[in-house]
Homo-oligomer: A and B are copies of this chain.
């Protein structure tokens, strides 16, 4: 059969960034064909949610590459040599959210933007946020990751004036399993002007931050 996809190479001209590939539901064979297409067009390929076994096969073949097993993000090609600014802060409550914090961080890197990670800010010990308020004021966009009840963006949103992109994490159990409670909580926030992306959509949050700092 002939090629069953057609990469949208004009996207970068239209909206400022290339098409990125969603890896979770594609086979190694399908990903291989897609990467080859990008390479023929002399482009690097960013693929999100590539399970480790699949990534290993692809990294064997395609060089150079970067793969982070925690966030399952795969770059076939190289990050830009020169990074612009340090305008985005990524906040989270700790270790369980690291896979998302890293997906956001590496996506911004791929887009040529440096970011800073604050992973020690949990709402059950609110002093950890208070200690960082002055430093956080320096950023242009705040991306705030939270699982469980997802309260962190609300508290941040009441204290800081910047654009806030809330990212619900699929961390939790019982009624909070899968991240829906965090998502709904962020959407219902009594703090004003918070916007939200899909559960575990670290990649989309990075793109949203990029849309702000690139315009």
Q: Name A residues whose Cβ lies closer than 8 Å to a Cβ of B.
A: 3-6, 8, 10-11, 14-17, 19-20, 22, 24-26, 30, 34, 49, 93-96, 98, 101, 117, 119-120, 122-128, 140, 148-151, 154-155, 157-165, 168, 170-201, 203-208, 210-212, 214-215
Contact = CB atoms under 8 A, between A and B. Distances in A.
Nearest to A117: B4
Contacts of A30: 95, 98
B15 A150 contact: no
A78 B160 CA distance: 26
Contact of A8 (B125, B170, B201, B210): B125
A185 B120 CA distance: 21
A157 B168 CA distance: 21
A39 to B, nearest CB: 17
A178 B195 CA distance: 20
B125 A163 contact: no
Nearest to A166: B195
B185 A150 contact: yes
B193 A211 contact: yes
A177 B26 CA distance: 15
Nearest to A33: B95
Given A155-B155, A185-B150, A6 B120 contact: yes
Given A120-B4, A123-B154, A151-B149, A196 B199 contact: no
Contacts of A154: 123-124, 149, 151
Contacts of A174: 168, 170, 179, 183, 187-188, 198-201
Contact of A214 (B101, B161, B175): B161
Contacts of A206: 193
A188 B183 CA distance: 12
A29 to B, nearest CB: 10
27 contacts: A5-B94, A8-B124, A14-B160, A15-B161, A19-B125, A24-B173, A123-B158, A123-B190, A123-B191, A126-B126, A151-B151, A151-B155, A151-B190, A155-B155, A163-B163, A164-B211, A165-B195, A170-B174, A172-B188, A173-B199, A174-B187, A175-B184, A176-B184, A181-B187, A187-B201, A193-B210, A194-B204
